[in-house]
Amino acid sequence: MVDYKVTQLDSDFDFDSIRYWDVVIIGAGPGGLAASLTTAHRGLTTLVIEAKETPGGQPEFLYADKKIVDIPGFPDGITGHELSQRTYRQAVNAVVQFRFNEELVTVEDTDETENDDQLKRVVTSRGNYLCRKVIIAFGLLHFPRKLPVLDHVDSDRIHYKVPKISDYEGQRVVIVGGGDSALDAAVMALQRRADVNLLVRKDVIAGKADTLRRINELGGRVHMSTEIAQAGLSGDQISLQLTDDENILADHVIVQIGFLSAKDTFEKLNLRLNSDGSIAIDPYFETSRRGIFAVGDVHGDIKLITVAWAEGIQAAIHAFKEITSPYWLNEKRLLDLKISLIGEKLADAATRKKS
C-alpha cells in the first residue's frame, strides 16, 4: 500500500498570491522532477528552478537522441529527450511550477516561521523565493565548459549540447572533444549522413576505442592534437582555422569538453562536504543545514537515472513529513540513534566476551 493519497492541486490555484512555497527544488533533472511529482501529489506547493532553458538534466543535455537502455519498463530503450519530456509533462500535469534560465545564487535563513518551521529564502539570478524546504538536485557537473575562442561568434549553430538529429542531417559538422560524449555525437551525426570533423586537443582519445573505430568506418575525419585557432562567420556558416593549418567551413559546431563542477555553489551554500567535494547528507537526505535536502549526483556514488528518481522521491517524502508532522523526523532520528547505540553496546559486549 502507498503511504499517501494523491491530492491534486487545482490547476487554477493562484500561485502569485502565496507568501511562501512549501518546497523549492533546484534542478529539473531526473531527481528534481521525481521529487517535484512526489511533493505536488501530496498537495504541497512546489517550485522547480532550472538554470538551463529546458528540463531534463543530463539525459536531455547529453543523450537527447541516444537510446537509454537501462531504464526499467522500456525494453526497447528510450531517448533522453523523450524520457525528459514525459517526466516534465507529468510534473506539469501535477501543477508543479517551473522557472527556467534562473541560476541558484544562495539559500538564506530568515527570521520568518510557519508552524515553528524556519523559512528559507532561495536567491536566484532573477529573483528570490521564500519556502519551507529546499531540495538540491542539480548534479555535480553543473554547467558545460565553454570554448573561449568561440565566445565572440554570434551564432545559434554553436552548441554545448548535442542538437536534435534533424538539425544536422546531411550537413557539415565539427565536433570538439575526445571523450565519450563527443565520440557518441560524432557517430550520431555520421549515421545521419553528416560530414564530420572531430577535433581532439590531446594526442590520445579518452573515449571508447570501439566508438572511435565506428567513426572511422563511417567516414569521419579525426584531427588529433588539434584545436580551433580562430573562428568567425562566413555567411550562414562558421569559419574555423585549426592549429594544424587546415581551414574548415561548418554548418554546426558541437562542443563536448566536459562540465564545470558545482563545488563552488556547494561552498556558497555553507554545506558540509564529503572528501570528494560532494554534499554530505544524513540517512534522510538532509544536509548539514536543516530543511535543505540533496539528491542525485550531488552526493551519490551510484550515478543512474533510476537512483536519482528514487532519491528524489525519498527526500520529497521526508520533506513532506517534516511539514505535515514536524516532530516525525526528530523522533525517527532519536529512535535510529538508540538502535545504533544498542548495536554498538552489543558488539562491544561480544568483543569483551571473546577476550
Say yes or no: 168 and 267 in one domain.
Answer: no
Say yes or no: 331 and 219 in one domain.
Answer: no
Residue 234 pLDDT: 92
Q: What is the pLDDT of residues 1-39, one digit of tens each?
A: 445 556 667 778 889 899 999 999 999 999 999 999 999
Q: For residue 6, is it within any domain?
A: no
Q: What is the pLDDT of residues 258-296, one digit of tens each?
A: 877 677 788 889 999 888 888 999 989 999 999 999 999
Say yes or no: 161 and 186 in one domain.
Answer: yes
Say yes or no: 306 and 162 in one domain.
Answer: no
Say yes or no: 133 and 234 in one domain.
Answer: no
**Least confident span in 32-36, 61-65, 86-90, 280-284:** 61-65
Torsion sign across C-alpha atoms 53, 58, 61, 63: negative
Residue 278 pLDDT: 86
Say yes or no: 309 and 226 in one domain.
Answer: no
51-60 core/surface letters (b: 16 or more CB in 10 A; e: else): bbebbbbbbb
Say yes or no: 125 and 40 in one domain.
Answer: yes
Residue 1 pLDDT: 42
The pLDDT of 194-219, averaged and rounded, is: 94
What is d(CA 343, CA 338) in angstroms, rounded to the nearest whole number? 9
- Does residue 298 register a pLDDT over 70? yes
Structural domain boundaries enclosing 94: 15-143+260-337
Cα 306 to Cα 23, 73, 94: the distances in Å are 22, 11, 20
Say yes or no: 136 and 174 in one domain.
Answer: no
- Give the number of domains in the chain: 2
- Does residue 344 register a pLDDT over 90? no
Asked if 64 contacts 164 with a C-beta cutoff of 8 angstroms, the reply is: yes
Q: What is the pLDDT of residues 223-240, one digit of tens each?
A: 999 999 999 999 989 999
What is d(CA 58, CA 44) in angstroms, rounded to the nearest whole number? 26
Residue 303 pLDDT: 81
Q: For residue 333, is it within any domain?
A: yes
Q: 117 vs 325, which has greater pLDDT?
A: 117
Say yes or no: 24 and 138 in one domain.
Answer: yes
| DSSP H helix total and E strand total for the chain | 8, 19
Say yes or no: 30 and 150 in one domain.
Answer: no
Q: For residue 203, is it within any domain?
A: yes
Asked if 36 contacts 296 with a C-beta cutoff of 8 angstroms, the reply is: no
Q: For residue 189, is it within any domain?
A: yes
The CATH number for 106's domain is: 3.50.50.60
- Where among 216, 238, 257 does a domain terminate? 257
Say yes or no: 178 and 242 in one domain.
Answer: yes
Q: For residue 347, is it within any domain?
A: no
Asked if 240 contacts 231 with a C-beta cutoff of 8 angstroms, the reply is: yes
Mean pLDDT value across the chain: 87
Say yes or no: 84 and 225 in one domain.
Answer: no
